[in-house]
Structure 1
Amino acid sequence: MNASSKAEQEPAFSALKDLSREHLLVLWHRYYETPPFKGARKSTLIRGISYARQANAYGGLKAMTKRKLLKIAKELTAAALTKPVATANPPPPKIQPGTQLVREWNGKTYAVLCTDQGFVMNGVTYGSLSAIAKAITGTTWSGPRFFGVRG
């Protein structure tokens, strides 16, 4: 089959969105000779197929551009491997019973006592500092951050 008859069998770019995911997977494999990454969305398949068609029609990236991209990718990979992995949200510090936290909000001072049962403010026991922060502000806050016990 020659290239022009193969192109005639391919759906037009505007018709790709109407194809089933299974049909898009077949087209993807035709262009890349490998399955897409696991969980690739239909929109990603359409963009990848569209790019491959454009590269086939107009020649794709220049060799110099490919070399630059590979160099950047290697540098980023090497940098990522040398950096320590940081956790997104470190656990809040353990607040010892008997600790008193003080916060001023809108000109009023609030004192909270940490106990074994929770956090006490104005004689009411709360299960978390976030519940107290919400009671004070009326909106959802990170309690440890509101009281300055976490950065």
Structure 2
Amino acid sequence: MSDLSTPGRPAWPYRLAYGAMAACLGVMALAVFVNVVLRYGFGSGIAASEELSRLLFVWMVFIGAAAAYPAGEHMAFTSLVARLGAGGLRVMTVVIRLMVVLACVLLGWGAWQQVVVGLDSHSVVLGYPTALLPLPALLCAVVIGGCATWELLARRPLDLGHAAEVE
């Protein structure tokens, strides 16, 4: 978990993201627990439990991914990049950020297409618009792509603070 007191970085987006992930996890755990107890203890179950858990899991994963990028918590293979000289590191920083932006554009475009398709269909049990499943991928792509674009334009260097770890 990132240090929420980092200077120059507002803490409220992280608190909001961590709170939303905790809420998703709590509701998922409760829904699955109640469903298991009902199914094995009483021979019945809650049909909506699986759909709700799947929806919340997707949201939790993408909220976490969006919160992890600006905090520098995504997996990084820094061993090769750290061996480059200063010039190579500057070039690789631009290349890596461009690749992140390209990946976000592709993810965002695909997610947008799925959101549009899902607007007219509804889930079987709960009846929510199925556009809610790809929507967090679209939002995550916007957040990460925006952060990577800002880092690229601001010429922010790669954070190789993970050098002490084996990666």
User: Which TM bucket (shorter chain)?
Assistant: under 0.3
More helix by share: 2
Larger RCO of the pair (alpha carbons < 8 Å, separation 6+): 2
More strand by share: 1
What TM-score do the two structures reach when normalised by structure 1? 0.27
What TM-score do the two structures reach when normalised by structure 2? 0.25
